[in-house]
Structure 1
Amino acid sequence: MKKIYEVSETTIGWLGQGKEEGEDGMKFLKVLFRNRKRLQSEKDRDEKRLGDELSNPDDWLALEKLLLRPWWTRVWTLQEYIVAHKFVFYCGMESIDREKLNVATVSMHLCMKIKENLISGRAFEATWIRRRLLNWYRKRHPMHLIGLMAYVGDYRATDPRDRIYSVLGLAEDRNLADPPRYQDQVTKVYAYLVKAFIERYDSLDIICLADRYNRNARRPPHQPSMPSWVPDWRIVTVPWVVPAMVCQSAGQHIGNFRPLPLHGAPDSYTAGRIVGSANAVISEDLRILTCRGIMVDNVDGIGGLKVVHRDREGNEDDWDEIHDSIASTSSVNSPSGDNSSLEIKTDPQHLAKLMEQVGQCILLNRKDRYLGDKSPTGYLFNEFQALCHYSLKTPGLVYPQFLDWFQRNKSLCIQGYSLAELSERFGEQEESSKINLNDLSKQTSFVSRFKDTTEWMQRRLMTTKDGKIGMVPGRTQKEDQIWVLFGCSIPLVLRKCKAERSYEVVGECYLHGYMNGEIITELQDGKVKSQEVNLL
């Protein structure tokens, strides 16, 4: 199919009949195209304006309906859109070519910077994702199969095996699943993809995506069910440019589709990555993955989180999932416990360090949402401290989503102190009054990075029995175990099963101080031992 589109003179994308404001939406795309230069020239001004042509809510509604049509999330249309020499959209009697659409998409982005909620995020993503992928393809940057599949998380196919096969023509490592095997059941196809990835890259990183593409994320679950270590690509998720930590910018085998100017030499998580380290064996029936790793600690307390699920099927309204806070009960974390082993001090320096570590966990120790640059000591600490302080004293000033998070996490005890107590001890700093507590204008503000981690990646603040701090998946439970598996860049939360040495994969975990091979050094120094585990 790829060759057909490459040699065709023109490829047509039929968006359907012009009814339901379809043609009006197409006409408005042309208006957006015409306004691109003006919007771009005004984007750095203090006062920005939409202008008369772009201020009619009916035009935006017509565009939203056009971009929510099924064509945009049909996975087979992605390849034809990207590889075709010339691509033209038709809706009723109206048409627009791909190049003008991409310019109009940038105008949409600039308009949304001026006024939020002009159009739903789901509608905007329809063209934005395709524009980003087209730019990568044209610049001949490597597009890895797993990263590509993870990015287009809400794309659909009648045959679930086509979640893989439909994008093979775009992937640099297409031989992971080429040639297609339609004679195999979907469970076998998905499991074989994991097997092929491990064998090619000597890496377990792919299993980290079994958290976001989780077999239990749908009610009722898809049948037949997958093992917990196999990403279930049948699950429909909200697209996000870095859907998991394993999609870090430094990732050589998965990666992400960050803006092209950001290419460079990013920092990397390397928790369990050592040369020739994976040594994983998958059973003949493709149900058990056996590997080695190191159990680091048990989960103790877990902060609360409100997750808003956006309906990707269009059948119902958004709905909230509430993860209640789970109290810390270990002697190290409990205020009434014996904290002497950690030499808990009450001096401001120690408490500031503890508070800073909590902030670093929320940032996943990265300055940017693409997880490319390690955050230096103290990075955005004043912003985090101010947000916590005002959440206690004058909550009306604080960004509502952070305030909700703080209320659900303030009682979580870490090394003998609750988050509320840590916030109280600092009081108001001189710089606090200068900090914008609702700043979403910059992707690098603390509030923006907080949203990346808690909303888009759905991570919860956590402390282990020994007082370590981290961020874990929403469905993590007390007593779950945190492991570093050989050949896996990111620590994992595992849940013990009844069978000996058997575990279920819960998902990837940020564990502060254990993201760069520290536990491997302890192993080499004889301080810890590795064990064989069976993932079911």
Structure 2
Amino acid sequence: MIQRLENNPYSQLPPGHIRLLRISRNASDKNVGYLEVVPLEEAPPFYALSHTWGTHTCKQDVQIHGHILNITAELACGIRNFQQLAINGSALDPPLLYMWIDNLCVDQNNIPERSTQVGLMRKIYSRSVRTLIWLGVDHGSHSTGWDLVDQIYAEFRSLHPTVSNPGQIPVKAYSDASHAVSKLPAWDNEAWGQMKSLLDLPWFTRIWIVQEVVLSSRDPIIVNAQRLFPWHRLEWAAGWLRRNGYLRLSRLSKNFLNVNTISNIRRSQSLWPLDALLSCTQIKFNATNQRDKVYAVLGIAAECENSAEVPEALRPDYSLETEEIYQRVARFFLERNGSLAILTRARGTAGSLSRKQRLHDLEKLPSWAPDWSDYRASNNGIRTSFSWIHYTKTEEPVKFGFPKQYSAAIDKRLKLLDNQGGSTLTVGGALVGEIVQRVSFSNNEETKEEFGSSLDSKIESTWNLAFSALKPTDEGGLERLAACLLKVTTADQHELTGRTWEQSFKDGLTYILSLFDRANTNATARLAGSDNPQAVAHLRRLASGGNAEEYRVLAGTFCFNRCFIVTSAGHIGIGTSDAQVGDYASIIFGSGVLYVIRRTGQEFTFVGELYLDGYMEGQGLHVQEQILRLT
């Protein structure tokens, strides 16, 4: 039963009800539409809109249900565009009549209503006919950009006519030769620039779009003026570009990675857990309200599948401060999952690169708590996490945790010694050494490309420090030093490149030897000194068949925004860039990695993750247990 709203367009909504915009098909009607209240379970066929809210400094008036509403110019243009589609008719089936539009159908000034309606998002988008995507006003270049997306999709289908999942597309490095023989236009064709401008539109970085696309029961439709573009073509184009190495090129928008992320979630046959969703969306998407970095993905989280059984900590409540929400959700994960993987992007210390990269300074957030708020930088300027999302097959459950080779304290259950909430996290663990030396890999905010240009000198300095700390005396000692250093500088993540440790070791040795062969540096003298030429010859034999560039790329990935450290016990590792001499390497029970913490009286400030050679396989679990209070 539909109830017309005659007075206040935002009168109180009964439980389980939503408002729908009934679009006026009368071109002479001053109203673009009328708001009607309907029980969600009995709603007529309606389309759910996905759009970007646009700038609040540029607004326009629209008349809805006899009321003048002041909304963003982008949305006003979109509503008028949909009205024309409804009047003129379109390929949409059923015909466009009812729409659900978040900032029209929800009273944004009513905090309790906002909280309640966010809790209904899963049902709203999944019960809609499909999601319609409005990217904003087309200033003339979008059409050419979409034509190129179509060409890429056609190229993909001609090469892989039977592929049903992007993971089935063979992985290849980009090459100019392969591009030249493809049916895609040359790089000087203006279509590439226009496609980049298209994908750089704000919609592609808005956090809410993830669930809005994922929950669509049918293939979402992108509306470009009167043209309708199917989402799946963009999705497949993004997958093909990524698997063929194109997305490493600056000519293409990094937002293709966002499309790829949405594709992975949408194609999964099981719901993703919330911690995995937060991990994969945090650095790619942003929100106007930082509470929404959590709330915007609840509708697709496994923990919220049954709306009647959503855990209290995950129920949307816009009356809470962002810091309180993040702490509540973090404690929920720790208590329910027993995994510390969520601490991979903890707030950390004052003045750290991680904090400098944030758009918002959440002053009340403790150092240990995950900071899911927006970054100023794109993927390209953010440290790679030690945690993994285990997602290999669409039919298998997704899990957020640590790589299998990380088992520093994974065999001991997380011991939470306080369950009263609050800003202090008290856990069981141990201190295993003090940082006595360090070499910084990153001192400034820089992109990974900029960092890569200085990597050689950083690795050379690291070798010097490692040689001094470990003091190898024979060829066996030099081999152990090299293996230790290569594992540390790549965080033992060779599986990411599909290579065995044996091959990765050859790659690293080839890189180290080529580095030392270029000039007579201190490192060269230590490696190729006249007093031990046999050791160097031994390394050269071991390096046979190695590819230096493979190591260089992997080391550049994991050394970025980190520092090399030596502990008082003589162990080497890599930690976050703000780790300092005097900080402690610590084990926290339940974690796959170690952590750097900083003493402040009887408590500790949480600094960040640490890969520490000699402790990654549980070797430190015999040390005396301590109570660690993190603030």
Q: Normalized against structure 2, the TM-score is what?
A: 0.66
Are 2:248 and 1:108 aligned? no
Are 2:127 and 1:16 aligned? no
Corresponding residue for residue 481 of structure 2? 354
Corresponding residue for residue 387 of structure 1? 511
Corresponding residue for residue 199 of structure 2? 67
- Alignment equivalent of 2:424, drawn from 288, 299, 303: 288
What is the CA–CA distance in structure 2 between the aligned matches of 1:114 and 1:159, rounded to whole Å? Answer: 29
Q: How does 1:505-516 map to 2 (within 5 A)?
A: 505-516=606-617
What is the CA–CA distance in structure 1 between the aligned matches of 2:339 and 2:247, rounded to whole Å? Answer: 44
Are 2:184 and 1:35 aligned? no
Corresponding residue for residue 25 of structure 1? 145
Letter of the 2:628 counterpart: V
What is the CA–CA distance in structure 1 between the aligned matches of 2:546 and 2:328, rounded to whole Å? Answer: 50
Q: CA deviation at 1:57?
A: 3.7
Letter of the 1:292 counterpart: G
* DSSP 3-state at the match of 2:196: helix
- Alignment equivalent of 1:99, drawn from 232, 248, 252: 232
- Alignment equivalent of 2:276, drawn from 138, 147, 166: 147
What is the CA–CA distance in structure 2 between the aligned matches of 1:429 and 1:363, rounded to whole Å? Answer: 20
1:402-429 deviation per Cα after TM superposition (whole angstroms, max 9, x unaligned) = xxxxx9xx87xxxxxx687247652572
Are 2:237 and 1:118 aligned? no
Are 2:583 and 1:454 aligned? no
What is the CA–CA distance in structure 2 between the aligned matches of 1:238 and 1:68, rounded to whole Å? Answer: 12
Identify if the C-alpha distance between structure 1 residues 466 and 110 changes in structure 2 by more than 3 Å, giving closer, same or farther.
closer
* DSSP 3-state at the match of 1:532: strand
Corresponding residue for residue 73 of structure 2? none
- Alignment equivalent of 2:588, drawn from 469, 485, 495: 485
Corresponding residue for residue 540 of structure 2? 429
Are 2:358 and 1:207 aligned? no
- Alignment equivalent of 2:572, drawn from 464, 469, 475: 469
RMSD of Structure 2 on Structure 1 (CA): 4.0
Are 2:185 and 1:54 aligned? yes
Q: CA deviation at 1:326?
A: 13
What is the CA–CA distance in structure 2 between the aligned matches of 1:178 and 1:65, rounded to whole Å? Answer: 36
Q: CA deviation at 1:186?
A: 1.0
Corresponding residue for residue 630 of structure 2? 535
Aligned partners of 1:299 and 1:464 also within 8 Å: yes
Q: CA deviation at 1:435?
A: 4.3
Aligned partners of 2:517 and 2:524 also within 8 Å: no
Identify if the C-alpha distance between structure 1 residues 321 and 183 changes in structure 2 by more than 3 Å, giving closer, same or farther.
farther
Q: How does 1:111-510 map to 2 (within 5 A)?
A: 112-113=245-246, 116-120=249-253, 122-136=254-268, 139-140=269-270, 142-152=271-281, 153-174=283-304, 175=310, 177-210=313-346, 216-218=355-357, 222-236=361-375, 238-239=378-379, 243-245=384-386, 247-248=387-388, 255-257=389-391, 260=394, 267-281=404-418, 286-306=422-442, 309=445, 335=468, 344-369=471-496, 376=501, 378-394=502-518, 421-422=526-527, 426=536, 429=540, 435-438=546-549, 445-455=550-560, 458-497=561-600, 499-500=601-602, 502-510=603-611
Aligned partners of 1:469 and 1:512 also within 8 Å: yes
1:243-283 deviation per Cα after TM superposition (whole angstroms, max 9, x unaligned) = 422x23xxxxxx35557599999725222234544223155
Identify if the C-alpha distance between structure 1 residues 460 and 369 changes in structure 2 by more than 3 Å, giving closer, same or farther.
farther
* DSSP 3-state at the match of 1:477: coil
What is the CA–CA distance in structure 2 between the aligned matches of 1:318 and 1:355, rounded to whole Å? Answer: 26
Aligned partners of 1:300 and 1:327 also within 8 Å: no
1:186-229 deviation per Cα after TM superposition (whole angstroms, max 9, x unaligned) = 11111111211122123444233306898723478614331101
What is the CA–CA distance in structure 2 between the aligned matches of 1:70 and 1:533, rounded to whole Å? Answer: 43
Aligned partners of 1:495 and 1:504 also within 8 Å: yes
What is the CA–CA distance in structure 1 between the aligned matches of 2:242 and 2:444, rounded to whole Å? Answer: 23
* DSSP 3-state at the match of 1:297: strand
Aligned partners of 2:149 and 2:237 also within 8 Å: yes
* DSSP 3-state at the match of 2:596: strand
Are 2:91 and 1:6 aligned? no
Letter of the 1:25 counterpart: G
Aligned partners of 2:358 and 2:374 also within 8 Å: no
Letter of the 1:535 counterpart: L
Aligned length: 474
Q: CA deviation at 1:512?
A: 1.3
1:283-307 deviation per Cα after TM superposition (whole angstroms, max 9, x unaligned) = 55x2211122110011122233247
What is the CA–CA distance in structure 1 between the aligned matches of 2:616 and 2:499, rounded to whole Å? Answer: 11
Aligned partners of 1:307 and 1:321 also within 8 Å: no
Letter of the 1:18 counterpart: D
Corresponding residue for residue 251 of structure 1? none
What is the CA–CA distance in structure 2 between the aligned matches of 1:131 and 1:219, rounded to whole Å? Answer: 27
What is the CA–CA distance in structure 2 between the aligned matches of 1:26 and 1:310, rounded to whole Å? Answer: 32
Letter of the 1:448 counterpart: V
Letter of the 1:453 counterpart: F
Aligned partners of 1:307 and 1:320 also within 8 Å: no
* DSSP 3-state at the match of 2:565: strand
1:455-489 deviation per Cα after TM superposition (whole angstroms, max 9, x unaligned) = 3xx33332212221211111111121000012323
Identify if the C-alpha distance between structure 1 residues 2 and 262 changes in structure 2 by more than 3 Å, giving closer, same or farther.
closer
Q: CA deviation at 1:357?
A: 0.9
What is the CA–CA distance in structure 1 between the aligned matches of 2:454 and 2:420, rounded to whole Å? Answer: 37
Corresponding residue for residue 518 of structure 1? 619
Structure 2: state its 5+ residue gaps.
1-120, 162-168, 305-309, 530-534
Q: CA deviation at 1:179?
A: 1.5
Aligned partners of 2:466 and 2:485 also within 8 Å: no
What is the CA–CA distance in structure 1 between the aligned matches of 2:247 and 2:360, rounded to whole Å? Answer: 41
Identify if the C-alpha distance between structure 1 residues 307 and 33 changes in structure 2 by more than 3 Å, giving closer, same or farther.
farther
Structure 1 residues 200-209 or 92-101, which shifts more? 200-209
Letter of the 1:452 counterpart: T
What is the CA–CA distance in structure 2 between the aligned matches of 1:32 and 1:105, rounded to whole Å? Answer: 9
What is the CA–CA distance in structure 2 between the aligned matches of 1:162 and 1:462, rounded to whole Å? Answer: 37
Aligned identity (percent) is 20
Q: CA deviation at 1:160?
A: 0.8
What is the CA–CA distance in structure 2 between the aligned matches of 1:160 and 1:318, rounded to whole Å? Answer: 30
Q: CA deviation at 1:308?
A: 7.6
* DSSP 3-state at the match of 2:432: strand
* DSSP 3-state at the match of 2:431: strand
What is the CA–CA distance in structure 2 between the aligned matches of 1:89 and 1:420, rounded to whole Å? Answer: 62
Structure 1: state its 5+ residue gaps.
249-254, 312-316, 396-406, 412-417, 439-444, 523-527
* DSSP 3-state at the match of 1:467: coil
1:8-40 deviation per Cα after TM superposition (whole angstroms, max 9, x unaligned) = 222111111221522221121111111113455
Q: CA deviation at 1:392?
A: 2.4
Identify if the C-alpha distance between structure 1 residues 212 and 362 changes in structure 2 by more than 3 Å, giving closer, same or farther.
farther
Structure 1 residues 65-74 or 357-366, which shifts more? 357-366
